[in-house]
Each structure stands twice: as structure tokens, then as C-alpha cells.
Structure 1
């Protein structure tokens, strides 16, 4: 019993310290509050609105914001409030899925590249350099266009352009960790490379990856919206913020509410995630402490 308590206690202590530092960071706390509101609204969307986000009603087109339609209606009479709520599910879900997938794949490739070295390292890093040679958004647009304009292909394109960042992060940490005494001791005892990577390298190299993941989610949401705006992401009538802004900006002068509310939701979500990411970076990365 005593040994179990001793093993759990440091974890609880670190968790308490992280929580204390997080709540002391006012900007990160503000971001968390904003994101919390968005998440609650997205989860309870069916209870907050009775309108179907894809149902058209030509007789109600371009209705101004009112008690009946809080955010007004679009060019085919769809309720914009319901589309923004359901769009938050899509945008947040895609952003998290894309970044977590890219982070997982990138960490796997980076740790293998850094630990094994040699030709494996050369091949992996040259491929990553080829991807990094192109501007991120331009390459994502090219990949999405080549794969075909739909939401799944947009997610694949964004994940591909995000992977090299995590490969380089994980590789850099692995190169430093493989020289540590505990790793050298594991090699001396004949422990297989895959086990050393899984049990000793990855757990100790994960901190900068987690920081990058929290920072990248907001950027991924913006990239999804950008591809949707360009017609390379979600296709109508899918309620996605970028696709809504793509159509709505044409009516900005006459029907200001159409692009404004999806744009505001996009701004708040990406801003909140960036604030949270900055806060977590300040806590987990000692070099960034001010």
C-alpha cells in the first residue's frame, strides 16, 4: 500500500502543480472559458435550436437577426444560428482529429529516425524536407485539389503538411535522449530497440509534441476553413464555417449577418485555442517561462 501511494503521489503532485500554474495564467484561462462555451453549445446544439441546419425555406431567405432567427437566415432560408452551432462540431472535431493524427504519425517517424539514424534517418528526413520546401497552405491546397474537393481529402491534405513539424520535434528530442545513461543502460542489457523507443524515448520526448499539438489545433481549424472557403473542403450543404463564409461574403454589404457570425465563431475558436496553447507552452516548456 505504501509503495502504491509513493508511486501515485508524484503524478498527483505534478498534476496539481500544472493545474495551479494554468489557473494563474489569465489569458489561458480566458481561452479555456471561451472554448468551453463553444464546446457546450456544440454538444447541446439540438437543445439550443429547433432548426435543421441543412433544411431550406425559400420563403424565409435573408431574414435579419430576430427572436425567431437569432443570427438571421441565408440565401435559401436556412437558420444561420443552427448552422454555426453544428458547424462548431465539425470544425473542432476536424481540427483535433487532424492534429492528433499528424502528431502521432510524426512522433512515430521522428523517434525512429532519431534513434536508428543512418539510412533510415536520411530517407525520412529528406522526405520531410521535401514537404517543408513548399508553403504549408499552398501545399495543402494542391493536395486537396489533387485528391478531390471534399472534407476527408482536406483533412488528409492538412495532416500531411503538419507531419514534418512533429517529425523534426521528436527527432531532435530523440537525438538528445539516446545519449542519456538510462537509454545506454537499456541498450547494454540487450533490450530491443522498439521497446526502448516505446518505454524510454517516446514518454520523455512527448512534452514538446503536446505543446505543438495544442498550438496547431487552432491553425488546423483555420486551414480547414480556408480550404472550405476556396471550395476545396466541405461542400454544400454541409454546415462548415469556411464554406459559409465563402458564400456569405458576397452578400456582406446587403446582408451583413450572413458571413459575420460564422467568421466570429471561427475567430473565437481559433483565438481561444491559441491562448490555451500558449498557456500550456509556458507551463511545460521551461525555456519559454517569462
Structure 2
């Protein structure tokens, strides 16, 4: 028994040394639950034309407010559209645009924050005062104000959310830059006359990937919630676009009589954002040693 136990322990140690990321991932069951839930949602949305025979925007008044059944798994809405179909097609918008928004915000924020931290002086002061001004407002309030100014549409909602999220990555990248600019390899590169742009691209940005990936993974779920909230308030996707927030915005009026209308889009929003948060927590535990439990 002692030999078997020794072998098992040695194998675990060897696995940890050869592939520590995979080892930590295997130990985090909640992350796998998040990956499983999100994977199911993504697969169903990608194969929506095969999974469901209905058109997400086609009106069929004769079948309005059908309760959940074999033919309509999640029931139908006020004009007879299949809610299950609209949820699957809406996943493409909510998840896809949520990811795109965070990718854009992180890329812009990392570049601006790195330049701000490395160059410093007046440029740093200007950038950070603008970032502080944006961070002074709650995310939802600022996103609502920007979306209202730009006009109600899904594209403008994405722009508004990206602007709200950019300052977070500016501060994150700036903090990394302030630390890296004092390191020996950066000082050596400057001594040998290597240009600032090359130093930023070769040393600063790659070394910012780890904290940025952690923050981005956690922010995707928040971005999806913000997109859906703006859609609920009429500042995001407009009917008949099958977006979860817009569906809930119309469906909540029928909650007491036709409960399935707002319930299932809200449930999908809860599951997707929860799954993304579980995945984000797992990635943070893997990439950030300070957060180890």
C-alpha cells in the first residue's frame, strides 16, 4: 500500500511540474461546470438551424402565447414566435457581442495604459484623469448615458459598454508598465538604444497578458449583462432582434399570465453569465498565484 501511495504521489508531482496549468484546471470542478454549461449554450446556438425548425423573427399569430410543449419547448410569444428558437439565435448576439466588446476594450486599454505608464509625465496625467473621470460613474449609469447619446441600437450599446470598460484595462496595464519600466531587461534595452515602440510591443504588452486575460474573462459576463440591460431599457437591440434583454423587456409585462415568456430568456442570461464567472474564477486561480485557495 505504501508503494502504491508513493507512486501515485510521484505521478501527481510529475504532472504538476510538466503541466501545472492543466493540473490546476483538473482540480477546479467549478470551472469545469462553467465550461460545460457555456459549451452547451454555444453548441446549441451554433447549430440552431438544425436544432430548431422555426424562424426567430417570423410572425405566426395563430400560435401566440402557446405554453411550453413538445412542439414549442419554451412556448411562444405575443406574435407566435418560438421562444426557444429566439433564445438560441439570441445567444449568438449576447455572447458574441459580449466577447467582442471585451476584446476591443482590453486591446485599446492595454495599449493606452502601457503607453501612459511607460512614457509618463503630462501624457500620463491626461490619460489617467480621463480614466478616473470615467471610473467615477457606475458602469450601468455611464453605459445608459452613452447609449442614449449615441442612439438606441445594438452597435451603439456595444460602443458604450466598450468605453465604460476601457479605463479598467488602462489602469491595469499602466500598473504593470510602472513595474516593468524599472526592471533590468527594460533598462538594458533602453541602454542599447532600442526604440520605445519596440520595447512596448516586445516587453510590456506580452507581460501584461496574464492579468488582462483574468480581468477580461471576468468582464465578459458583466458585458453580457450590460448588453441585456440596455436592451431591456430600450437602448440596445431593437425588435424584432432576438436578443435576451429585449425579449425580457417585452416579456415581463406578461409574467403573471404567460410566465414562460420572460422566464426562459432570464434563465439563459443567468446561466451564461454564471458560467462565465465560474470560468473566470478558474482562470484567475490558475494564472494568479496570489489567488490560490
Q: TM-score of the superposition, structure 1-length normalised?
A: 0.94
- Partner residue of 1:116? 119
- Partner residue of 1:234? 237
- Partner residue of 2:278? 275
- Partner residue of 1:149? 152
Question: Which secondary structure state, in structure 1, belongs to the residue aligned with residue 231 of structure 2?
Answer: helix
Report runs of 4+ in structure 1 exceeding 4 Å deviation: none
**1:36-115 equivalent positions in 2, closer than 5 A:** 36-115=39-118
Find out whether 1:220 has 2:212 as its counterpart: no
Offset of residue 19 of structure 1? 2.1
Distance between the aligned counterparts of 2:100 and 2:207, measured in 1?
A: 23
Distance between the aligned counterparts of 1:206 and 1:123, measured in 2?
A: 24
Distance 1:154 1:251, change over 3 A: same
- Partner residue of 2:8? none
Distance 1:14 1:256, change over 3 A: farther
| Structure 2, unpaired ranges of 5+ | 1-15
| Structure 1, unpaired ranges of 5+ | 1-12
Find out whether 1:171 has 2:171 as its counterpart: no
Offset of residue 14 of structure 1? 8.7
Distance 1:135 1:281, change over 3 A: same
Question: Which secondary structure state, in structure 2, belongs to the residue aligned with residue 152 of structure 1?
Answer: helix
Aligned residue pairs: how many?
278
- Partner residue of 1:195? 198
Find out whether 1:18 has 2:24 as its counterpart: no
Q: TM-score of the superposition, structure 2-length normalised?
A: 0.93
Distance between the aligned counterparts of 1:149 and 1:228, measured in 2?
A: 9
**What's the RMSD between the two structures over aligned residues?**
1.1
